[in-house]
Amino acid sequence: MSKQDPKKLFIKTYGCQMNVYDSERMAEVLGEKGYVSTDTPDDADMILLNTCHIREKAAEKIYSELGRFKGLKAAKPDLKIGVAGCVAQAEGQEIMRRQPMVDLVVGPQSYHRLPQMEEQVAKGRKALDTDFPEEDKFEHMKARPKAQRGPTAFLTVQEGCDKFCAFCVVPYTRGAEVSRPADRILTEARDLVDRGVREITLLGQNVNAYHGAGPTGEVTLADLIWQLNDIDGLQRIRFTTSHPNDMDDALIDAHGTCDKLMPYLHLPVQSGSDRILKAMNRKHTAEEYINLIDRIRGARPDILLSGDFIVGFPGETDQDFEDTMALVEAVKYGQAYSFKYSTRPGTPAAERAQIDPDVANDRLQRLQALLKDQQRDIQNQMVGREVAVLFEKAGRLPGQLIGKSEYLHAVHVHAPADMQGQIARVQITESSSNSLAGTLLQTVAA
């Protein structure tokens, strides 16, 4: 490599969309240090794993992934290897002990300190930062670069969580709930729109608990959505992930009245059993959740609902599981994520008696079969309907584009390549396992 060549950065992202956003921001921060992104670890000068600690499997994957980089490090001793994200936060120094080839460990609240950490590792030292600093990392990161980008973007508005569900590591890895000031978010959103973004997904571990500082007082998520609604050129707004107890009236109303807010809502319930919900510290009942769904559907009848479920939580009986199945039957989800309970050290539920893993496996299979049926039914019901598709990229077939409908279904359409980044009316003609196909009707003006 000649002196002028930029250094190459390979980031591998695990876990949630907040990590996707953080990886983009880390790449930008390291851009200041002369790094450009590469999509393979083979020619990288720095490899960063942006990790997830939510379930045991996700965390263990990191150690096996690191093992795979041994050969690369042996061939290129200058290669720097870093671990970021929630495993970094939870396991810190332990990572360097288990994998001595790791040069850098950075927790999710410290990414703005990456330039200094990079200088340290460039000198052959190790760097570790898993503080929860007073300063807000986003406010200490430079403005985002001005390069043109794709039509959809994530924007983190809130981090951390104060809910302390008994199974969850987030309050420990991401810390207490913090909301970014509204004006920063609006500036970042306008900037994204100037660079070609048409759809913004507001992110937060508990996004509907957002309560950022505004010029005349506190701003809620509904307020923020209405302010984003006024940005010309921004056509779609989404948000994730929400807690049922933070779905306030204004936010429910916005689903019926704000044209740019898309009819899709990810609203995890985790279980349909009141006993388990209580043991999980969810602070609501199954009936309250179902009533909430009724109100949301009252505001926006065609909304597509998505959820998260955990089976095999300590103490879950057959009846508790049947209650979860009954809740799913009652709600009808268009999309869902379901998991076997995974013990997370340091969380309250980790101390409790675990249930038989075979029983948990059987339950997971039954629940997933039901959720899959519902997902397929709702997708099939789209056939014959007209939807609006925001084209994101070229499809696999020549002349084909792929985009997302309002309901977040992937839709394949034959359309001119220059329609990427535009929204068009599409008639749905086909539903296959994971996507829809349709024919182009007309373009909708931006």
Cα radius of gyration rounded to whole Å, the chain: 23
- The burial of 94, by beta-carbon neighbours within 10 Å (0-12 exposed, 13-18 middle, 19 or more buried), is given as exposed
Closer to ligand SF4 by CB, 163 or 275: give it.
Answer: 163
Residue 319 structure tokens:
């009846």
Return the residues of window 286-325 that contact ligand 5AD according to CB under 6 A: 308, 310
Residue 175 structure tokens:
């810390």
Which residue has the closest beta carbon to ligand 5AD?
308
Return the residues of window 168-187 that contact ligand SF4 according to CB under 6 A: 168, 170-171
Q: Is 165 annotated as a binding residue?
A: yes
Q: Which of 21, 388, 12, 435 is nearest to 200 (CA)?
A: 21
Which residues lie across from 261 on neighbouring strands? Answer: 237
Which are the contacts of 366, defined by CB distance < 8 A and separation ≥ 6?
325
Residue 344 in the binding site for ligand 5AD (CB under 6 A): yes
**How many angstroms separate the Cα of 345 from the Cα of each of 16, 65, 175, 269, 328?**
20, 22, 16, 22, 29
The Cα 321–Cα 363 span in angstroms is: 7
Given the structure tokens 């609604």, which residue do they identify? 229
Residue 55 Cβ, how far from ligand SF4 at the closest point, in Å? 12
Residue 429 Cβ, how far from ligand SF4 at the closest point, in Å? 38
Selected from 36, 164, 233, 365, the binder of ligand SF4 by CB under 6 A is 164
The Cα 379–Cα 435 span in angstroms is: 8
Return the residues of window 203-232 that contact ligand SF4 according to CB under 6 A: 205-206
Selected from 17, 281, 342, 435, the binder of ligand 5AD by CB under 6 A is 342
The Cα 347–Cα 354 span in angstroms is: 13
Residue 341 in the binding site for ligand 5AD (CB under 6 A): yes
Residue 282 structure tokens:
């969810």
- Write the interaction track for ligand SF4 spanning residues 234-273; mark x where CB under 6 A is met and - where it is not: ---------x------------------------------
Q: Is 258 annotated as a binding residue?
A: no
Residue 270 in the binding site for ligand 5AD (CB under 6 A): yes
Q: Where along the sequence are the contacts to ligand 5AD (CB under 6 A)?
A: 54-55, 167-168, 268, 270, 308, 310, 339, 341-342, 344
Q: Where along the sequence are the contacts to ligand SF4 (CB under 6 A)?
A: 161, 163-165, 168, 170-171, 205-206, 243
Q: Which residues fall in the annotated binding site for [4Fe-4S] cluster?
A: 16, 52, 86, 161, 165, 168
